[in-house]
Amino acid sequence: MRPLLKQKDLRAPLPQRPADRAAASPQHHAWVAAHLTRRDRWIARMLAEHRVLTSTQLTQLAFPSRRAANLRLRQLYQWRVVNRFQPFIGRGRAPMFYVLDITGAHVLAHEDGTDPTALKYRPERSIGIAHSIRLAHLHGVNGFFTGLIATARRHPRSRLLAWWPETRCARHFGDIVRPDGYGRWIEHGRTLEWFLEWDTGSYQLQRLAAKLHDYAKLRAITQINTPLLLCFASPHREAHAREILTRQVRETAHADTTPIATTSADRIRHSAAEAVWLPLEPPTPDRCRLADLADRWPHVAVPARSDQQAARIADSGGTATLTPPEPMPPWSSARDLTWHHAPEACRRR
């Protein structure tokens, strides 16, 4: 996994590379819909749900190699299923960032039986993330989850059961608290769900500590004690935050206090499933694996609901949205991950 990008290092996107792109039209949308593979549609749906993913993250999600990813993503870019940009970072080379484009949005809308105009999709708003001050934050959060999916692809007894972005969390319980993400992980029969708070080092830690009251309010309303995982920008910032959080927890101690574990961004460059987590209470000298946190917090019960059920609850607000994708690739065999699995017409065009 590449080092996480910092917002202060990002500059305006580099000029687009010359490339032939098809003109968006109803005829083109229909042609593309007939030539997209199952993987293509899943990638487009992931971009609709999580806004932006890099070529590195998409390789972790759906391809056997970087070369295979670049070949197929270039073709999807030419068909206007996806759009792309590459930030200028001054030193080194940033990966290519991909967002959903007009043809991809239309194909998914028709697949869901939704009028594309009801989605209010605007290509300029989608590519506008290139200039957002939250790009590095979103890149870090998405990299957290794509690293888990990459781990699950290598280890059959592991699986990411749920991955909600900040926008879906906000639709579900944004009037109380807005976590940066929600996830559920199973490994060797042990299941853990959590809220994620991703720190980029750009705001005061006291603000993060104050959000514990909001999580306590959510716990009181839902009667579900969901653990909170916090990832900080550096080990030094993590150590400082643990002092503040420990003091905050002890000042408002309750028997059902939200379980908290912390780590830092440099520790999860390979995967957040590894032994990188340090529970806040009770204090322990050693870090543990993500699945081991379920043993550390035996009083935390995982609700017996599927992600599809939770998605229907979260997305029942009346606003037209695309159907959320499964967090794990839907195909079952390694053969489906190869470039050659695409239809012959896709490879020739």
pLDDT in tens, 38-60: 999 999 999 999 999 999 999 99
The confidence score (pLDDT) of residue 39 equals: 96
Provide CATH 1.10.10 ranges for the chain.
7-132+331-348
| Number of Cβ within a 10 Å radius of residue 208 | 17
Residue of 250, 254, 272, 270 lying closest to 262 (CA atoms): 272
CA angle 220, 221, 222 (to 5 degrees): 100
The pTM assigned to this predicted structure is: 0.86
pLDDT, tens digit, 9 for 90 and up, residues 69-79: 999 999 999 99
Which CATH number, 3.30.70, 1.10.10, 1.20.1050, 3.40.390, labels domain 7-132+331-348? 1.10.10
The tally of CA atoms less than 13 A away on the side-chain side of residue 167 is 13
- Judge whether 80 and 102 are in contact, CB under 8 Å: yes
Q: What are the residue ranges in the chain where pLDDT is below 70?
A: 1-19, 90-91, 252-256, 301-320, 332-349
pLDDT at 300: 78
